[in-house]
Amino acid sequence: MPRHPRVVPEDNKKRKFDIDLLFWLLSYIKDKKFLVGVSVLLILLSAGLGLASPHIVRVGIDDYIGKGDYNGLLTLAVIYFFIRVFYFASQFGQMYLTAYLGQKIMYRMRLDIFEHVIKLKKSYFDKNPIGKIMTRVTTDVKALNELLTSGFVNFFSQSLMLMGILVFLFLEAWKLTLILLVITMPLLIIGTILFRKKITVLYRKIRTQIAKINSFLQESISGMSIIQLFNRQEYNSNKFMKLNNEWYNYSVDSMITRATFFPFISFLSMFAQAIIVYLGGRLVFENFITFGSLFLFLRYMRMFFRPLRQISQQYNILQRAMAASEKINNILDRKKSEVYTKEGGYKGELKGEIEFKNVWFAYEEDEYVLKDVSFKINVGETIAIVGPTGSGKTTIINLIGKFYDIQRGEIFVDGINIEDWDIQYLRKQLGIVLQDVFLFSGNIFENITFYNPDFDEKEVEELAEYVNADKFINKLTNRYETKILERGKTLSFGQRQLLSFTRTLSYEPKMFILDEATSNIDSETEKYIQDATEKLTSDRTSIIIAHRLSTIENADRILVVHKGEIRERGTHKELIQKEGLYYDLYQLQSIEENQPAK
């Protein structure tokens, strides 16, 4: 991946042009030097041919039309025709190559961003909306492509044209050229500075607003059932209207700014040509210059303002692209999880002993979710963790997989500090069934194997049968080829749970974690899941998290977590006899389920 500059604050404040961002963009074309070189040659050729055309016309006016030389005029017309043909061919080749380069660059850039995103720490995704990240990979990359393909090319070609025109103008009539520059350039410079200040801020606001709209759309579509259930359609529509209005206002402001600036340049062009007609006409009357030279001067002066307009438009593209690159680099400069950067971690045979020693953890600084937590799980032991919502149960699971870094304390796996393990290797030994099962678009077979080519259909069927997932799969028309929509929306909660059990078992984990898997399912599916749980917890270290305490009575030990601290620990029988927090929770659930407390 090409290098990228420092983190840039993601806001709408005006900042100076960042040369580091420009070098980062250019790094994407360094391995395409040959194609870039050919493009540059074509640009030089088209610029030279473009500058030659008016000179050919001047020669025709002064040397052939005025003298009535029809044969010479025909020869000159043929030369002019071929110049325009070669000009067209060079323009076509240049545009084709730059478009091809742009697509290759976008392809590589999107891959780089995506590969970086999937290796970021979990905490990044906790704090950043999905729609915002999607905007970076799609809309913002497209803005950069516009700069790399048309922006740089046009800026380079138009700059060459501008310099060439100035040279010809000074050679033709340097005093007249100087007069025109003195009159028009101060106005042009002042207008450009004002335009730049205004448009830079507006483009940053537009990029930010697009990300907000995409985030809100993604959130609204994902939660559409809740929106409709609570009749919040009007509220969401009004909120979207507000976001859309802000985008509309910023866009209109930018259009007004452009609509003011570019006609201003056209006005300067017309003003300059009017001066040329008057002053140049007097020079023709006085025989200081020929009529062909006046035509040439008018043509070059008109051409002089055209590159200025083009360069100003490229500045628009540059500002859009720089705003987009700042947003993208806010992702690329985020530190990858050490899981993917650390080398030489421990990869020994895992037995399954887990120990927390005085662990403190906070998602936000000084807002501790776990406070001085210590416990040990022996090899092959089944431990249940219970407690109220928000007590820190799921956080413990995340720390065992090292999805977050602890602030204080130590975590050991098989007596080895988790910091010394190869985390990718460790996670392969860890099977987790979450309450909110995530299934990908595809079919049932692909979701079980997770696209692992080592599995065949017979193996998958045996796994599904072992954890009772075959009970519903065999009832489906296409069985394991049944298509699954995004997040498994076509399946029930319990069916998604059983698929998750099958997927977890397929990787033969040495440690098993079940996170509140039986809290929202029917009694028949719960029976299947209980059977699968007993099979999966047999002969392997297991952790079960559940709100329904009746499902963990047979656990070897139970940890009771409350407000980030372990308040009680022991077997079900021991904790009931203590008549503490666990006893109160159990009594409450027994009353709710109309069962006598054991």
pLDDT at 564: 84
Neighbours of 523 (CB within 10 A): 7
Q: Is residue 472 part of a domain?
A: yes
Q: pLDDT tens for residues 120-136?
A: 877 777 777 777 777 77
Whether 58 and 293 have beta carbons less than 8 Å apart is answered as yes
If you ran DSSP here, which 8-state letter would residue 555 be given?
-
Of 338, 367, 402, the domain-final residue: 338
Same structural domain for residues 330 and 380? no
What span, in angstroms and rounded, lies between the C-alpha atoms of 380 and 38? Answer: 66
DSSP 3-state assignment of 543? strand
- Whether residue 347 lies inside any domain: the answer is no
Q: What is the pLDDT of residues 396-411, one digit of tens each?
A: 888 888 888 888 889 8
Domain boundary among 338, 370, 401: 338
- Please check whether residues 359 and 328 belong to one and the same domain: no
- Both 370 and 234 in one domain: the answer is no
pLDDT at residue 516 in the model = 64
Higher pLDDT, 517 or 203: 203
Q: How confident is the model at residue 11 (pLDDT cuts 50, 70, 90)?
A: very low
Q: Which pLDDT score is estimated for 444?
A: 80
- Greater confidence, 518 or 585? 585
Residue 313 has pLDDT above 80, yes or no: no
**Using 50, 70 and 90 to split pLDDT, how confident is the model at 353?**
confident
Question: Given this model, what pLDDT does residue 97 score?
Answer: 83
Owning domain of residue 31: 21-338
**Between residues 377 and 595, which one has the greater pLDDT?**
377
pLDDT at 3 over 60: no
Is residue 360 located within the same domain as residue 299? Answer: no
Residue 8's pLDDT is what? 40
Considering the domain architecture, whether residues 160 and 293 belong to the same structural domain is answered as yes
Of residues 353 and 146, which shows the higher confidence score?
A: 353
H-helix segments, 223-232: 224-229
pLDDT band at 295 (very low <50, low <70, confident <90, very high): confident
> Same structural domain for residues 334 and 201?
yes
Q: Is 158 helix (H, G, I), strand (E, B) or coil?
A: helix
Statement: residue 265 has pLDDT above 50:
yes
Give the HSE-up count for residue 492: Cα atoms under 13 Å, Cβ half-sphere: 13
CATH, residue 232: 1.20.1560.10
Arithmetic mean of pLDDT over the chain: 78
* Res 482 pLDDT > 50: yes
**Same-domain check for residues 184 and 211:** yes
Q: Are residues 300 and 381 in the same domain?
A: no
Is 16 a domain residue? no
Instruction: Supply the pLDDT for residue 226.
Output: 67
Q: Is residue 1 part of a domain?
A: no
How many distinct structural domains can be found in the chain?
2
Pick from 49, 51, 31: nearest CA to 41: 49
Task: For CA atoms 234, 236, 242, 248, give the dihedral sign.
Answer: negative
What's the longest Cα–Cα distance across the chain?
Answer: 121
Structure tokens at 450: 């997770």
Predicted local distance difference test score (pLDDT) of residue 7: 40
Write down the pLDDT at residue 498. Answer: 80
pLDDT > 90: what percent of the chain?
0
* Tens digits of residue pLDDT in 15-45: 444 566 667 777 777 777 788 788 888 888 8
598 part of a folded domain: no
Task: Answer for the pair 329, 144: CB distance below 8 angstroms, yes or no.
Answer: no
pLDDT tens-place string over residues 94-103: 888 888 887 8
pLDDT (0 to 100) of residue 330:
76
For 497-528, the DSSP string reads HHHHHHHHHHT--SEEEEESTTSS--HHHHHH
DSSP 403: S
Which CATH number do you get for residue 436?
3.40.50.300
Per-residue confidence (pLDDT) for residue 229, from 0 to 100: 59
Which tokens go with 446? Answer: 């692909």
The answer to whether 445 and 460 are in contact (CB under 8 A) is yes
Assess if residue 446 is contained within a domain: yes
C-alpha of 189 from chain center? 37
Residue 7 in any domain: the answer is no
Query: What local confidence, expressed as pLDDT, does residue 29 receive?
Result: 74
Domain boundary among 338, 366, 385: 338
Higher pLDDT, 528 or 250: 250
Q: Does 256 share its domain with 398?
A: no
In a domain, 190, yes or no: yes
Average pLDDT score over residue span 176-188? 79
Question: Which residues are bridge partners to 514 per DSSP?
Answer: 433, 544
Whether the per-residue pLDDT at 280 is higher than 70: the answer is yes
